[in-house]
Structure 1
Amino acid sequence: MPEEDLVDIKFRLYDGSDIGPFRYSSAATVDVLKQRIVSDWPKGKTIVPKSANEVKLINSGKILENHKTVGQCKVLFGEIAGSIIMHVVVQPSLAKTKAEKKVDVSPKKAVCTCSIL
């Protein structure tokens, strides 16, 4: 594989720590990057992604889409010497969040009071 087709990427976590840098081919998809992040997630963190679907990658202020390749995103990266830093955001799945919000499913009683002075 030619050296020009390889890109060094470092992933910055919410607390300022990093995962990587790792070297990826320009043909690698963003989904592959997310799977690598989940598998290499540091132990002892308070926030831990359970799957690649909970991970969002941000570079140059844009959320990267799963089907895009590193080569397609290179336009965002520009011509940078050294490692590219991508920010990692962990967002729990919506199904879990909605389930947690619906804990109190008991019907609410309408209470009406009037005070006449």
Structure 2
Amino acid sequence: MAEEELVKLKFRLYDGSDMGPFQYLPTSNIAMLWERIVAEWPKDKKIAPKGANDIKLINTGKILENDKMVGQCRVPFGDLSKAVITMHVVAQPSVAKVKTAEKEEDEVPRKNLYPCSIL
């Protein structure tokens, strides 16, 4: 496979650091990217995804879905099509963890220590 046909991607993490660049076939799907990001996530980060469901990829302001192909993420402008594409990675906890945290908060009695009145 010729190198021009490969799509070069790098992934920008929440703290501004990058993973990559990596090369993919244009026919690779977004699920393959998720798997690689989870497998190669830096160990020194405070926030780390447990699996592909904890990751969102953003390219040109849009969250990428599973069925999208890497080749569809290219910029169609002249020499920019050969440039490295930067995708933003958002790692977030799964929905089950969020619901558990909300239940724990609801069980703790809340006290209003500083009542406020607006006149």
TM-score normalized by the length of structure 2: 0.80
Higher helix share: 2
Rounded to whole Å, the distance in 2 between the matches of 1:21 and 1:52 is: 19
Q: Is 1:95 aligned to 2:93, yes or no?
A: no
Rounded to whole Å, the distance in 2 between the matches of 1:42 and 1:93 is: 19
2:76 maps to a residue whose letter is G
Rounded to whole Å, the distance in 1 between the matches of 2:20 and 2:73 is: 19
**Deviations along 1:43-74, whole A, 9 cap, x unmatched?**
11010000011111111111111111112333
In the TM superposition, what is the alpha-carbon distance from 1:3 to its structure 2 partner? Answer: 3.2
Rounded to whole Å, the distance in 1 between the matches of 2:97 and 2:72 is: 32
Which structure 2 residues correspond to residues 24-103 of structure 1 after superposition, within 5 A?
24-74=24-74, 77-79=75-77, 80=80, 81-103=82-104
Rounded to whole Å, the distance in 1 between the matches of 2:57 and 2:4 is: 23
Number of equivalent positions = 106
Runs (5+) with no aligned partner, structure 2:
109-119
Rounded to whole Å, the distance in 2 between the matches of 1:62 and 1:78 is: 16
In the TM superposition, what is the alpha-carbon distance from 1:95 to its structure 2 partner? Answer: 1.3
TM-score normalized by the length of structure 1: 0.81
**Larger Rg belongs to:** 1
Runs (5+) with no aligned partner, structure 1:
107-117
Percent of residue pairs identical? 57
- Structure 1 stretch displaced more, 96-105 or 60-69: 96-105
